[in-house]
Amino acid sequence: MTDLEKEDFEKLLEESLKSRDDFTSGDRIEGTLVLIGKESSFLSISGKSEAIIDTIELKDKEDNLLFQKGDKITAYVVSTKRGEIKVTMKLGSGGVNPELLLLAYQNAMDIEGTVTGEIKGGFSVNVSGFRCFCPYSQIDIKGGEDKEKYLNKNFQFRIIEYKENGRNIILSRRVLLEENQKSRENELKESLKTGNIVEGKIASIHEFGVFVDLGGIEALIPRSELSWSRSAESKEFTEGKNVRAKVLTIDWNTNRITLSVKQLSEEPWISVNKYKEGETLNGKVVNIIPQGAFIELEAGIEGFIHLSRMSQTKQIRKPEEAVTRGETVNVRIISIDKENRKIGLELMTGEADPWAATTDDIRNSAQTGIVENAKTNGISIRLGNGMLGFAPKGELQHKNDLSKHYPAGKEIKVSVKDFELQNRKLILSETGAIKKEEETEYKDFMNSSDSNTGSSLGNLFKDKFDNIKKQVNTK
């Protein structure tokens, strides 16, 4: 305080102790700030009266002044001792008496109190030395479920019951919050529109989403609107932190406002062109279904690995045999369907690719394989080198009840009927293998026959072989 301000302060203090208007505790007054001091400030409340108010009441929590010299404020008379009028803007922050509390009750005035402890049914609240009671249901709009958050903190209250000359006082904070909520609701009805960008404080976090306080009115950010990522979780947010969001829907009949965080950023599929077929990259397993697994390449962009693409050399019967939800895996893009927003992937396991080491010489060769599964039109067979092929129903020895004759795990001999390396297509034939085997046996026998008996025996076995072929072809 400068010497001039000190001189003004002393002069005003001296004048305040002189003759003045008659005031009593609890009177509501309006005055003009004429001096703001370090600890005390002066109000001019009439032509010949001044009042003193604690300067701290003119500041916010960060110690910044909310008022300046010349501003008009409304206050309440706390005391008039020795001709000095003491006022406050918050009943309870200064000295109070039963008469002042009764006046606050009768005029629905706000008072300030400190929650000092928890007692049966609610909280004990200290209002400038007076012990008051606030029920659980009146400490907050939601009933004060988290009791620890209120202890040893100052709040504004409203007296809802005043009995026994101030010995039994019941307070409510909820009344004030509901009044503020209603006032804020009316303001928002005038200003808030769908599509607006708003900022609020995270009030509570739930599995289904996050509630945001917009200054007395709560709005919901559903879990699906927290991020473009399907794996986004509300627990990634922090209660009390500020968040920006876009207004999606407003329903004043039910007081429901829906917000979105993800709508503040560009939809990821717009930039899907940056991905290329054949590209290898890492992704996160975000969902598993019986047919395969969904892999998140980035927030909002997912690809799918089918069971058949989870191994190069063995059959995967369940996706869980190859991947685990939440893990990061290495994948290769095999197809991109921009129109339908689908990306096909295959799992990169580090296994040697049997197709890469295969040449056209495999065509017409005899192979041994293991049945992986049977369908109505044929069976899938895994060859010894790891390649997966398919034997159509017409190429099988048994044409009916394939699941019975070709159970999974059964070893079977086949020949390679058709082979397309580029499309990784392998068509197998059981009947072709049988023919090849029988032809080989016949040739070996013929070659081992001596010249004297070869003709007669050869003709005999030739006839027998021809009959066998007829039987096979008619099955």
Please tell me the predicted confidence (pLDDT) of residue 133: 95
> pLDDT 10s digit of each residue in the chain, 475 long?
565 555 665 665 555 544 455 777 777 788 899 999 988 999 988 766 788 998 888 888 788 898 999 999 888 887 787 778 888 887 766 566 777 788 888 878 888 899 999 999 999 999 988 899 999 999 998 766 678 889 999 999 999 999 887 789 999 999 998 888 888 888 888 888 999 999 999 988 998 999 998 887 889 999 999 999 888 888 888 888 999 999 999 998 888 999 999 999 888 988 889 999 889 999 999 999 999 999 999 988 999 999 888 887 777 889 998 999 989 999 999 889 988 899 999 898 877 777 776 777 777 788 888 888 888 899 988 887 788 889 998 888 888 888 888 988 888 888 888 888 777 788 888 887 777 666 666 666 666 655 445 455 556 556 655 665 555 555 5
The pLDDT tens digits for 418-452 are 888 777 788 888 887 777 666 666 666 666 655 44
pTM value is 0.53
Please tell me the predicted confidence (pLDDT) of residue 49: 78
Report the C-alpha gap between 113 and 165 in whole angstroms.
Answer: 19
Please tell me the predicted confidence (pLDDT) of residue 258: 95
Please tell me the predicted confidence (pLDDT) of residue 17: 47
Radius of gyration of the chain (CA): 43
Tell me the HSE value of 458 on the side-chain side, using a 13 A CA sphere.
Answer: 12
Cα dihedral sign for 450, 453, 458, 464?
negative
Please tell me the predicted confidence (pLDDT) of residue 19: 42
| Phi, psi angles (nearest 5°) of residue 100 | -70, -40
Phi-psi region of 189 (alpha: psi -120 to 50; beta: other; left: phi over 0): alpha
Start-end of CATH 2.40.50.140 domains in the chain: 3-88, 98-177, 192-264, 275-347, 361-475
**How many CB atoms sit inside 10 A of residue 281's CB?**
15
Please tell me the predicted confidence (pLDDT) of residue 445: 65
CB distance 29 to 51 below 8 Å: yes
- CATH number 2.40.50.140 given to 192-264: yes
Measure the CA angle with vertex 86, ends 14 and 22; round to 5°. Answer: 80
Spelled out in words, what is the top-level CATH class assigned to the domain 275-347?
mainly beta
Measure the CA angle with vertex 243, ends 174 and 173; round to 5°. Answer: 10
CB distance 130 to 102 below 8 Å: no
Please tell me the predicted confidence (pLDDT) of residue 219: 93
CATH topology of domain 3-88: OB fold (Dihydrolipoamide Acetyltransferase, E2P) (2.40.50)
Q: Which of helix, strand or coil describes residue 328?
A: strand
Closest CA to 298 of 269, 338, 333: 269
CB distance 365 to 415 below 8 Å: yes
Q: Which of helix, strand or coil describes residue 352?
A: coil
Q: What is the CATH number of domain 98-177?
A: 2.40.50.140
Q: What is the CATH number of domain 361-475?
A: 2.40.50.140
Please tell me the predicted confidence (pLDDT) of residue 295: 94
CB distance 29 to 87 below 8 Å: yes
